Structure formats: C-alpha cells, structure tokens
A and B are shown apart, each in its own frame.
Chain A
Amino acid sequence: MDPYLIEAIINGILLGGVLALLALGLNLIFGVVDVVWIAYADIVMCGMYVIFFLYTEYGVPLPLACLIAIASMAALGVVVHLLIIAPVLDSAPINQLLATGGLLFFLQSFATLLFGTDFRNIGVRLPILESATLYISFSRLIAFAVGLIGAVALYLFLKRTYIGTAIRAVAQDREIVGLMGVDQRRIYLVTSAIGGALAGLAACLLALQYDVHPYIGNTFGPVIFMICVLGGLGNMIGGFIASFIISQIIAIGGYYSNTELSYVFAFTFFIVLMFVRPRGIFAR
C-alpha cells in the first residue's frame, strides 16, 4: 500500500483520539443536563488561549499551564451552566441551542476583541517519529494517548465513584433520582465542570498541534456535533466509535482529494446517515 495512505490512516486514528475526548465531554453534558452546548468547541478555544498566554507571555511551565487551563475551563463550565443554561433548563430544546449559540457568538467575538484575529502558536516543536517511510508527529501521538486515557478515566469515574453513579442515574431518569436523595443541581454543576475540564484537556492537546485563533472553534465544533449525533446524542460509547469513523473519512478523504472536500464528504456522510438512522448509528 502507498505509505502516504497508511500515514493518512494513522493520522486519522490519532485525530480520532482528540475528537473522541471532545465528543465525550459534549455527550456527558447532553446525557446529564439534556442541553446541547453548541459553543463547546469555543470553550476549547478559550483553553488554548489560556495555555498560550501562560506559557509564552508569563513563562509558566507547559505542564502547569495545562493544569491551570483545565481547572479554569472547569470553572468556566460551571459559570456557563449557572449563567446561561440554568435559566433556560425548562425552555424548548431549540431555545437552549440558541442560547448556547449566543455564547458561541460572544466567545468568538470577545476573543477577537481581546486578541485580534492573529494566528498564535505556542511554539513547542515536538519531534517527528520516523520509521521507514512513515512520519508520525509526536504531538499527535501524545494527543491520542492522552485522549484515550482521559476517556478511560472518565469511564472509571462514572462507574466506580458515588458521584459518578449519581451522574449516570440522572442521565437515566431525572425524575426518580430526586426521590433517591440526589441533588440534581449539584450533579448538573459537577457535570458541567467535568465537561469544561475535558474541553480544557482537549485544548492542551490541540495547542500542541494547531495555531490558536478566535475562530478555531468553527473548525472543530460542527465535526464534534456530527460525531455526537452519529453516535446517538448522550451515547458515550457510540460517540467514541463515531469519532474514529469520522476522523478516518476526513483523513482518507484528505489523502484522495483535499482537506475541504474531505470535510464535505464527512458532512454529507452525516446527513445521509441521519436519514438512514435518525437516532444514530448505534440506536437500538
């Protein structure tokens, strides 16, 4: 097989790891709070700016900068929930979507206002792994590994801890859970914090590979929704698998044509599948 094709496939798998992490965060929030955060990718953008400024302007060591980014995005998740989501919890789903659409507008424009539209790079150059004819970027490998670890950690957290069990319970039946003595509002807050933290973690991984600019969310945002819907909104395992399907379409499509067309393939695939299986690939 053509080594470039193999490289494309491997890069696709690696990209899938990061997408899976993002899809997990979005799915968790949707499954528990029942609101689609259309601005989720823009929270990632905020996290990338935090890392960029801490690392390049203030000389904070990169690992510490990443931790701060994760923590501050968790805080941002809570703030978003309290200020925007909580007031519209009982509104029509479409109003909730629009409210977070307003957040998307706000975050992108506010970032433009503060930082301009320049592309900024944290300037960390990780080595590129070479084996025979293959070139695999180390930062993508890290992103993939951390993405997987994050996913497993979240899984264990949801399965093994008390609060994780409570979160799953709310996702299953929000009426009954109240009777069992679980404080729903607290669960919502914890979930939003975890969702924010996952966005922060994804920001760390993406900052190694991409320039940050105010509209970077538009690059990833629509893809993440597609993945979540394909996997079935709220279905975390479905979203996990769908991430790798979509990332392969993008990677292999990019190999045969160009980047934009590969996204066109992915979106078209999504539209067609929505008609074939409107509740996601893995719907029973």
Chain B
Amino acid sequence: MSILRISMLVGLAILIALPVVIPPYFLHLLIQILLWAFIYTAWALMGRFGFVSFGHGAFMGVGAYVPALLWSYYDVTPWLGIPVGIALSILLAVIIGYPCFRLKVVGHYFALVTLALSQVVLLSLVAARDVTGGSLGFTQKAVGHSWYALQFPDKAYFYGISVVLWLIGLYVWQRIDHGINREALEAISEVEDAATAIGINVLREQLRVTMISAALTALGGAIYGQYIMYLNPETVSGIAVSLQIVFAVIAGGVYSLLGPTVGSLLTLSLTEGLRVWFGINFIGAANTIYGILLILCIIFMPQGIVGALQGIRFRRPQAKTAPAE
C-alpha cells in the first residue's frame, strides 16, 4: 500500500512539474487528454452500473454553451455561468432520468432515449443559429488573461485546472466505488426487485449517480469551452460526441478507476499520431481504426484494456463478494 502511495505521489509530482518541461503542443495535448479523461470518468460513473447513456453529448453541450453565451452576450462571469450550465444539465438529467428509472426504461431503450436527448440539444443549438452561430460555431468574447472571465492565454493555467478536475473525477469515482452506494447500485443493475426488497431506495440511488454524472460532464464541457474558446454543436454535443465518449470508455475499461483515462490517452494519442504522421489527407483514418478497435473490444474484451490487464495480472477476487466498507 505504501509503495502505491509513493508511486502516486511521484506521479503527481511529475504531473505538476510537466508544464515547465514540455513544449506547448504537448501541453495542449495533455490538457485535452485530462479534460476528456474527466468527462469519460463522469460517464463511467453511470456506464459501470449498466446505464449506457448516449445523452452525455447533451450534458456537455449545455455545460459548454451556457457559460459561453452568458459571458459573450451579458458579461456574466463564467464563475456564475458554469454553475448555471451545471444546474441546467442536472435538470435535464432528472427530466430524462426520473421517468426512465421510474418506468424501468433500461438497456437499449435507455440508450435510445438518451440518444434522442443528445439530438434534441444538438439540433436546438443549430436551430438557434442567431444566438449560437449554428453549425458555424461560436467564438467567445476574448479579453486576454483574466480570472474573472476564466480565460488564460497561458496554457499552464488550464493545465493546472484540468489536473485538478481529473483528480476530482477520480475521487468521485473512488467514493462511489467504495461507498455503500456501489453495493446498492450493483445490486440494482443485477436484480432490481431483490435490491428493493432489502430496502434499497433504487430510484434515489439511480438518480443520484445520474445527476453526479451529468453535473461533472457539464463541468468538463464548460472548462473545455473556456480552454478552446470556440464551440461547435458537432464537437461538444450530439450523437458523435456521445458515441466518442462511450467508445473511449469501453476501450479503456468501464469497471476500473483508470479505465476512462486510459481510453482518453489512447484515443487522443491515436488521433494526434495519425494526424501528424499522415497529414490531413488521411482524415478519417483515426476513427476508422477506433471503429475496428471498438468492435474488437466488445467481442474480445468487454472489460476494456485496463480491465483485461487486471484480469491477467492479479486475477483479483470478485469485487462483488468483498465486504462493504
């Protein structure tokens, strides 16, 4: 355990020291990897309990657009705008989640309802083109370095923010993993009626994890928007983003703490690598490979890369039979 602690501390120290050492391009990549890893981790909070949501594009889109629009049109600081975006995402999550869990809309019905949700948000953003710029995208009003506007031309700031976010994501994942809630939720995802019978408030637990997941995803979207400073409906919401999230998590591993992070590292390195090596003539190559990988992952290792590695190395005892902490 202490070795684990030490290696964690060393890892953190390296993470903190990195912006001084590496060139801006790699820092940019790293920020993206961490931000996406945060969003993927947020998705996995639900995904691991069998709620496969294709609606996270909606939460991310709302989280990213609300603060950007409020700032650009009404000079509302993102410090207020981001919480508003998060609150709206949570509201959306409840509007969709409550009836779904109540009426037991599960499995691929749940996936399709959430898919419709992310299309609704995407198309609404496109339809409101007078305000959002539609498919052409939206560029935020820039003011240079400002804490008030949460805009930092120096990448080191966003690097710091994304490291913190990523750690928060892991912490929340860990809390849910170790808490009594996990036992409850796993019980639900297996035998819901039995879970109810032993006194678990199924609906409340499901809603709780959905709201947390939506809130974190919206937060991730907001910071992503603040960092990139340009929003496009297709890149922050809709079916494409939702599928990207699902894929990266499945590839990395939905049942392990670092699975989503590995998924993010893998997919972004692959995209960037292929882009740099083959240039823009090879557009689509990265996603072609993703597609094949996704199919292979599902067929050969539904536990994801991290899960498969853990399975080989530790043959760890069934987590489900471990006593509650």
Contacts and interface: CB of A to CB of B under 8 A. Distances in A.
Most buried by B among A91, A92, A260: A260
A87 B299 contact: yes
Interface string A91-115: 1111101110111111111111100
Contact of A222 (B50, B116, B283, B294): B116
A101 to B, nearest CB: 6
Contacts of B297: 102
Interface in B270-325: 282-288, 290-295, 297-299, 302
Nearest to A116: B283
Interface string B255-272: 000000000000000000
Contacts of B127: 257-258, 260-261, 264
B119 interface: yes
A104 to B, nearest CB: 7
Interface residues of A, number: 47
B61 to A, nearest CB: 13
A109 B294 contact: no
Nearest to B288: A109
A1 B247 CA distance: 49
A268 B58 CA distance: 13
Contacts of B124: 260-261, 264
Interface stretch (B35-43, B64-72, B99-107, B176-184): B99-107
Interface residues of B, number: 46
B115 interface: yes
A102 B52 contact: no
Interface string A251-276: 00000011011011001101100110
A275 B105 contact: yes
A111 B284 CA distance: 8
Given A94-B107, A258-B127, A271 B116 contact: yes
Most buried by A among B50, B240, B250, B295: B295
Contacts of B282: 113
Contacts of B219: none
Interface in B231-256: 239-240, 243, 246-247, 250
Given A94-B108, A268-B120, A102 B283 contact: no
Given A93-B107, A94-B111, A274-B109, 4 more contacts: A98-B52, A109-B285, A229-B109, A271-B116
Interface of B: 50, 52, 96, 99-100, 103-105, 107-109, 111-113, 115-117, 119-120, 123-124, 126-127, 239-240, 243, 246-247, 250, 282-288, 290-295, 297-299, 302
